[in-house]
Amino acid sequence: MARSTKRAPPWGAVREAVLDGLRGTGRGTLEGVTTLGRAILFLLLVLPQLPGLLRRPRLLLEQIYRVGFLSLLIIVVSGFFIGMVLALQGYNTLVNFGAEESLGVLVALSLTRELGPVVTALLFAGRAGSALTAEIGLMKTTEQLAAMEMMAVDPLQRVIGPRLLAGLFCMPLLAAIFSVVGVYGGYFVGVGLLGVDTNVFWSQMQAAVNFSEDVWSGIIKSIVFGFVVSWIAVFQGYDSAPTSAGIGAATTRTVVISSLAVLGLDYVLTALMFN
Amino acid sequence: MNDRPPSTPENAPRLPLIRIRGLTFRRGRTLVLNNLNLDIRRQGITALIGPSGCGKTTLLRIITGQLRPHRGSVQVDGVEVSRLPRKQLLELRKRMGMLFQNGALFSDLSVFDNVAFPLREHTGLSKDLIHILVLLKLQAVGLRGAHDLNPEQLSGGMARRAAMARAMAMDPMLMMYDEPFTGQDPISMGMLLSLVQRLNHLLGMTSIVVSHDIQEVLSIADDVCILSDGRIIEQGTPELLRRSKTPLVRQFLDAAPDGPVPFHYTASSLERDLAWES
């Protein structure tokens, strides 16, 4: 009779794999908490530098141009298309209930409350946030930040402060432009292509959209998103490993962390403001 | 607290500009500098040489206060750098200049604006005066004609000369050069060597040059320090060092591939590694 070839399970290997998993989780958590701590300390060092920037508005204006103005094209084009898609989708649903006159309301509320601030923040993270991280990371790698420190110029004030403030300042404006262009995109499709009455489109919107509730909530959201995305972008650049791979990883982290932070914060802010 | 007051014209020549005692610095678990003692005399050129990774650049960064030592004292012109608050440290740095290995010019500014940067940041000088000063600094390094170029349009040697002009813009008392000759062709290296020497003597600065180009740096240095394993193993004039019998110094000066610094990284026996499969 043949002997059984069944072997005992490799418990040692299983145990090692489980332990490896636990070690990895622990290490990851510790690294995450440490990085968050460093990011908070970094912010606490940068914030006192911001008032001094008012004495040097040129530094701030330069960054507003680079961070804000150069992001305008992508914001305007995206806003217009999102408004068009909203109107198209909204019309197809509303027409089933004979409520296509409410199309303007749907487009305006969706944009001002949610899509304007959120999509702008995501686009801002991808376009301006990644550029900020790469620029600061490269300055670190090529020792430009160290050289600045050696010339008794604080890079936190000269480099980081203007970029953080510019992001904070530009995001609400970009979100507002996104929403306005989106409304016109919705108007173009709804009124121009699908035949909704133009007066109804605007009057319903005017009656239903509350400035203090809907528009302000969007502005507050975009200010918070602007601050968080800019903070993440400048911190990741400043904290990046001074190698080309380090800059690449930091740029990716900026986009990923910013996007997740924006979506998570959007839920929190919506829950706080509308419930 | 400072152990000694800053120098006055009466005592200045006698005191070393930099006085380091018992300096210890760790990076993680690695001991980079180990109870190091060093004096750098005023208005001279001190060459700091040693094997790669022995802590030369770290020492420069501790002198400038970019890194804080774990133990020991570092005094620059009588001021204890290691315990200096940030604001006073920045003040002290206005009197120091540093040339980084790759120049570290600001890539978004022209050569002129790079050199003007410290003057615009720290002095209330008029535009016209800054213009004159910048052109004079650029003239000193032979780049007046390149003032409107951007850093990416410069060769490696030109970039270092432009960075030298920027580092000198505030007329520092102390200039530090971190591997200024690395990767330079003989002509550029000759220019840089002559500039380091000429500017040091003309402006009465104190210079520290970290370099691996031994013969070149010995030709301009007044003092030489050889750093190894986080300590100064030999210090003296270039002539004294050339006559040294210390094996490590000899290996370093003769560029011998094997010696106290072994050619092979520490490993188990070759036979054992080759037979690992069996």
Tens-digit pLDDT profile for residues B77-99: 888 998 888 888 988 998 899 99
Query: Which among B57, B67, B84, B93 is the top mutation candidate for probing chain A, defined by the most A β-carbons within 10 Å of its own β-carbon?
Result: B93
User: How far is the alpha carbon of B115 from chain A, nearest alpha carbon, in Å?
Assistant: 11
Judged against a pLDDT cut of 60, whether residue A152 lies above it is answered with: yes
Q: Which residue has the higher pLDDT, B239 or B182?
A: B239
Residue A42's pLDDT band (cuts 50, 70, 90): very high
CB < 8 Å to A144, chain B: 104-107
CB contact under 8 A, A142 and B118: no
Compute the average pLDDT of residues A50-71: 90
Q: Which range (B3-7, B145-149, B262-266) has the least confidence?
A: B3-7
Query: Which among A44, A55, A151 is the top mutation candidate for probing chain B, defined by the most B β-carbons within 10 Å of its own β-carbon?
Result: A151
Q: Which range (A3-7, A52-56, B34-38) has the least confidence?
A: A3-7
CB contact under 8 A, A146 and B118: no
Kindly state whether B152 is in contact with chain A, defined as any CB-CB distance less than 8 angstroms: no
> Coil, strand, or helix at residue B268?
coil
Compute the average pLDDT of residues A157-182: 94
Q: What's the rounded Cα separation, in Å, for the pair B240 and B234?
A: 10
- Write down the pLDDT at residue A62: 92
DSSP structure class, residue B147: T
- Write down the pLDDT at residue B198: 87
CB contact under 8 A, A152 and B98: no
- Write down the pLDDT at residue A235: 96
- Write down the pLDDT at residue A47: 92
> Coil, strand, or helix at residue A189?
helix
Judged against a pLDDT cut of 50, whether residue B3 lies above it is answered with: no
Q: By C-alpha distance, which of B66, B58, B206 is closest to A150?
A: B66
Residue A5's pLDDT band (cuts 50, 70, 90): low
Task: Give percent of chain A with pLDDT exceeding 90.
Answer: 78
Element (H, E) at B212: none
Q: What's the rounded Cα separation, in Å, for the pair B177 and B103?
A: 10
Judged against a pLDDT cut of 80, whether residue A52 lies above it is answered with: yes
Q: By C-alpha distance, which of A125, A110, A104 is closest to A79?
A: A110
**Proportion of chain A in helix, strand, coil states, percent, rounded to 5:** 90, 0, 10
Judged against a pLDDT cut of 80, whether residue B234 lies above it is answered with: yes
Task: List Cα–Cα distances, A272 to A217, A221, A227, A262, A275, in angstroms.
Answer: 10, 11, 18, 15, 6
User: How far is the alpha carbon of B58 from chain A, nearest alpha carbon, in Å?
Assistant: 13
pLDDT digits (tens, 9 = 90+) for A197-227: 999 999 999 999 888 888 999 999 999 999 9
Angle between helices B156-167 and B127-140 (to 10 degrees): 130
Compute the average pLDDT of residues A138-164: 92
Kindly state whether B94 is in contact with chain A, defined as any CB-CB distance less than 8 angstroms: yes
Judged against a pLDDT cut of 50, whether residue B4 lies above it is answered with: no
pLDDT digits (tens, 9 = 90+) for B244-259: 888 877 887 777 777 7
Residue A56's pLDDT band (cuts 50, 70, 90): confident
pLDDT digits (tens, 9 = 90+) for B8-55: 445 555 688 899 999 999 988 888 888 889 899 888 899 998 887 788
Partner-chain residue, chosen from A139, A146, A151, that has the shortest CB–CB distance to B121: A151
CB < 8 Å to A153, chain B: 90, 117-118, 121
ipTM beyond 0.85?
Answer: no
Angle between helices B186-203 and B156-167 (to 10 degrees): 10
Q: What's the rounded Cα separation, in Å, for the pair B68 and B84?
A: 10
Q: What's the rounded Cα separation, in Å, for the pair B177 and B186?
A: 18
∠ CA B111-B94-B44 to the nearest 5 degrees?
90
- Write down the pLDDT at residue B1: 38
CB contact under 8 A, A149 and B93: yes
pTM: 0.82
CB contact under 8 A, B121 and A153: yes
pLDDT digits (tens, 9 = 90+) for B98-132: 998 888 999 889 999 999 999 998 888 899 999 99
Compute the average pLDDT of residues A248-274: 94
Q: Which range (A135-144, B12-21, B137-146, B204-213) has the least confidence?
A: B12-21
Task: Give percent of chain B with pLDDT exceeding 70.
Answer: 94
Residue A135's pLDDT band (cuts 50, 70, 90): very high
Q: What's the rounded Cα separation, in Å, for the pair A145 and A158?
A: 10
Cα dihedral sign, B235-B240-B242-B248: negative
- When the pLDDT of each residue in chain A is averaged and rounded to a whole number, the result is 91
CB contact under 8 A, B107 and A142: yes
- Write down the pLDDT at residue B101: 83
Compute the average pLDDT of residues A256-267: 96
- A96 — phi, psi (to 5°)? -65, -25
Judged against a pLDDT cut of 80, whether residue A246 lies above it is answered with: yes
CB contact under 8 A, A142 and B94: no
Interface of A with B (CB under 8 A): 138-139, 142-144, 146-154, 158
How many Cβ atoms are within 10 Å of B20's Cβ, its own excluded? 24
